[in-house]
Structure 1
């Protein structure tokens, strides 16, 4: 009986190993966020859909927590085909793909629902298509929540409170100019360096959404969160064009559809995580500043729009977004 049990265990192990290696192609996908984060879980969900729909031929392995590099480096690796897929913030693309500047503009979206309507339609597809000339295939947009300022020094209620303070931003000229427009000093740096930089006083704070503020632990060193919601920037899931060109038309269609079908799941996970993070951080003693007049902040962004919305393509995108109900 003991021998039978041992044999059964061995056979089960062989079967498991066979199942684990059954995929003909496994795409390596990068994400800077930790395991369990909504964007990571959404790409894993996409992988399950893809594996089921291709009878196990195509799979996705998600490397979370910046295992394959911070966003700027991982974008270049994806362009070269070293990384197959990448979930990335739009900010790092702003200096590469001009269309990505539009959804990155402060206060361009009136609400999260407005952003969804815009990015799920023709405008969103036009922006996804703009990735192709840059050796990337735009697959889908995920939520990035609304981004607000947080800092270690004091409650921020007005633009005057921001004067001279140092905030980390993504490595994007647009983000630098946005922070400068409200009187603060922008310091571009990789996401992974923010915690220690706040802790040591290199910067006073940063700006991000509730789940990132939570999962990064930044609330531990920056307990003042001002709900100014200056950005509602979607995030993007891309595939290397090198990898894409190696797929059959049928498999390309399967990848694109699985990506689209992962979006509702991502949004469900995001809404759930956002509510949990907000409740957790308020219980942890974070001071949330909600009594803020956004009008001066919105008006201060006029020079930013003037600087970045210059081409006919961008002007048209802005006008169409503003006209979208």
Structure 2
């Protein structure tokens, strides 16, 4: 279930790969995000979101990244009005079920469960698309500016995001997720 693709919000426009290298960007203090910053050549500054606005105002950071809906709902675009739709990491929420319990269900019940879970995921993707459209309207109405990255920057950011996922795709990693590659591949169909 997607929360959304993460996009940059900065004080100054980000138009090229050179523009992002060395940027001081807020990142959540989570291995995926700190690893992404390293892979992208960003100076990742782990901090709670509550500190973002004052950190932008003071110059401690140049911006950060979040899904469009978060950028709009928090009002961070009022402090860092340049939003670049890099879509470099997809934020997902997961549905879990106890494997022993799931396998104890009759086959028809498992099929219904799977069908309902898949339908719910598809519906949430549609809701995310609508939420992104609504967020973009709010950001631009609030004097924020949304831009598409160059193909080179988009490719660079996508590759940095994919390299970041080695935390989950590498079987030798302590954070290995057996179906991480499958998750990444399924998400690609939603990337624009």
Q: Fold match, TM over 0.5?
A: yes
Corresponding position of 1:167: 25
Query: Any conservation in 2 of the 1:160–1:183 contact (CA below 8 Å)?
Result: no
Distance 1:149 1:322, change over 3 A: closer
Residue aligned with 1:146, SS: strand
- Answering whether residue 146 of structure 2 is matched by residue 284 of structure 1, we say no
Q: Whose relative contact order is higher, 1 or 2, with alpha carbons under 8 Å and at least 6 apart?
A: 2
| CA shift for structure 1 position 262 | 6.9
- The whole-number CA distance in structure 2 between the counterparts of 1:282 and 1:171 is 29
- The whole-number CA distance in structure 1 between the counterparts of 2:89 and 2:182 is 18
Corresponding position of 1:227: 85
- The whole-number CA distance in structure 2 between the counterparts of 1:221 and 1:285 is 11
- The whole-number CA distance in structure 1 between the counterparts of 2:120 and 2:166 is 36
- The whole-number CA distance in structure 2 between the counterparts of 1:323 and 1:211 is 23
Deviations 1:52-86 (A, max 9, x none): xxxxxxxxxxxxxxxxxxxxxxxxxxxxxxxxxxx
Alignment of 1:141-152 (within 5 A): 142-152=1-11
Corresponding position of 2:171: 311
Distance 1:206 1:301, change over 3 A: closer
Alignment of 1:1-325 (within 5 A): 142-152=1-11, 154-236=12-94, 269-293=127-151, 294-301=154-161, 303-306=163-166, 308-311=168-171, 314=176, 317-321=179-183
Query: Any conservation in 2 of the 1:159–1:183 contact (CA below 8 Å)?
Result: no
Q: TM-score, normalised by structure 2?
A: 0.70
Q: 5+ residue gaps in structure 1?
A: 1-141, 242-252
| CA shift for structure 1 position 300 | 4.1
Residue aligned with 2:86, SS: strand
Query: Any conservation in 2 of the 1:228–1:292 contact (CA below 8 Å)?
Result: no
- The whole-number CA distance in structure 2 between the counterparts of 1:297 and 1:285 is 25
Query: Any conservation in 2 of the 1:169–1:188 contact (CA below 8 Å)?
Result: yes
Deviations 1:251-283 (A, max 9, x none): xx9xx99x9587677555544332221112112
- The whole-number CA distance in structure 2 between the counterparts of 1:301 and 1:276 is 25
Q: 5+ residue gaps in structure 2?
A: 99-108
Distance 1:300 1:231, change over 3 A: closer
Count residues with an aligned counterpart.
169
Deviations 1:93-151 (A, max 9, x none): xxxxxxxxxxxxxxxxxxxxxxxxxxxxxxxxxxxxxxxxxxxxxxxxx3211111111
| CA shift for structure 1 position 286 | 1.4
